Amino acid sequence: MDIRALAEKNRDYIIERRRYYHQHPELSFKEWETTKTLKADLEAMGMETQTFEDYPGLIATLDTGKPGRTIMLRSDIDALPVVEGTGLEFCSVNEGVMHACGHDAHMAMLLGAAKILAEVKDELCGKVKFILQSGEEHACGAKYYIEHGLLKDVDGIFGMHIWGTVDAPFICVEPGKRMASCDNFTIRVKGKQTHGSSPHLGHDAIVAASNVVMGLQGFVSRKNDPTNPLVVSVGKFHGGNMYNIICNDVELVGTIRTYSRELRKELETELRTIAEHAAAVYGCTAEFELSPMLPAVINDNDEMNQIAMDAAVKLYGQEGLTHMDSLMGSEDFSLFMEQVPGFFAFIGAKNPDKGIIYSNHHEKFTVDEDSLERGAALAAQFAVDFLNK
Ligand code: NI
């Protein structure tokens, strides 16, 4: 079973599908046409598919008819509200919507893997499930499928992301920390309104909220262990009406990123305490509200790590591998990894010789298509090795 050769054979198909999906992007939770086309693509390979009336995305199953484990391969399918600036001949036909995070490439690689696996079905046991998932960009798209029990009969899951700062066509199958956890917060600072010329008669919520922002940064630099990566960012600071009115109400909205499960548990209390005290210095109150979003993506399952490494080396040798630093961005693949053992790989998109130099989410982001067959091969090889182990 030569998966590398099968991927090469399907190269044109994979690239053609990537271009089709690139041209027809849809926003998170609205990927209805994408779902319909994916369903047709997978059914054309003889797969059984399952779609949902109230939610986009689908699951396709390749059943070998032989007893064994079930591996799930995952691609996200949503695009971003970005006006495309690539100038590609197959650029988006949906104004203001663009596959600027490479999820078009993910779909194409998964379809490529599906084609390869359908061809070698007789040599496999167990089942391969393909999940084409809605709403990754909103950090919670994966939830629906978990809540509907669709991972119950799954023994392992594999996902990957194509990445703009990693050289093509290299593969990164490193164990350990890959993407950070993500939790968002809102802080409401309340003061007392008065005339701008007599601040001593009121409680200035803008000054208090500024103190809260600096207090949060102080936590990161002074109280957090510096060897433990932590980001606390306030991205929105909203309050006030007029230059001569002392403001009595400020809203701060921000996000927290870390890899530490222990720290993540403690942060709500720690940051709330800082917010309350920092506001109290100026006679104001602060209400801290945390919205837990996603755990970190950490490749910490030894069996899965070994399968991924062996698969990549079997396909393209040590020279096909690359290193990528762990990121403070997040991925809702981590929700799947909480349910079943998982592995998350990265595939290089960058190629300066072809002018492909932009990062994910940039309006000129694109991928070196030479990487696509490698991603397809990696997913397929991972599935084969997981099932036949
Ligand atoms: Ni993405």
Q: Please tell me the distance between residue 234's alpha carbon and the centre of ligand 1 in angstroms.
A: 22
Structure tokens given for 9: 């054979």
Query: Tens digits of per-residue pLDDT, 103-135?
Result: 999 999 999 999 999 999 999 999 999 999 999
Q: CA 97, CA 23: separation in Å to the nearest integer?
A: 10
pLDDT class of 1 with cuts at 50, 70, 90: confident
**Is 139 a residue whose pLDDT tops 90?**
no
* Same fold for the pair 3-179+296-388 and 182-294: no
Q: How remote is the CA of residue 344 from the centroid of ligand 1, in Å?
A: 12
Distance from residue 137's CA to the centre of ligand 1 (Å): 7
Q: What is the reported pTM?
A: 0.92
Domain ranges of the chain: 3-179+296-388, 182-294
pLDDT digits (tens, 9 = 90+) for 174-219: 999 999 999 999 999 999 999 999 999 999 999 999 999 999 999 9
Cα(90) to centroid(ligand 1), Å: 20
Mean pLDDT rounded to a whole number for the chain = 97
Domain 182-294's class? alpha beta
Ligand 1 centroid–CA 101 distance in Å is: 5
Residue 262, class by beta-carbon neighbours within 10 Å (0-12 exposed, 13-18 middle, 19+ buried)? exposed
Find the 364 Cα to ligand 1 centroid distance in Å.
Answer: 15
Ligand 1 center from residue 102 Cα (angstroms): 6
The three-state DSSP-derived secondary structure of 221-273 is: HHHCCCCCCEEEEEEEEEECCCCCEECCEEEEEEEEEECCHHHHHHHHHHHHH
Tell me the percentage of the chain whose pLDDT exceeds 90: 99
DSSP 152-171: TT-SEEEEEEEEEEEETT-E
Ligand 1 centroid to Cα of residue 103, in Å, is 6
The alpha carbon of 11 and the centre of ligand 1 are apart by a number of angstroms equal to 22
> At 67, phi and psi to the nearest 5?
-65, 155
Domain 3-179+296-388 has CATH 3.40.50.620: no
Ligand 1 centroid to 231 CA: how many Å?
20
Distance CA 167, CA 354 (A): 12
Residue 300: both structure tokens together? 């910490």
What separation in Å is there between the alpha carbon of 179 and the centre of ligand 1? 12
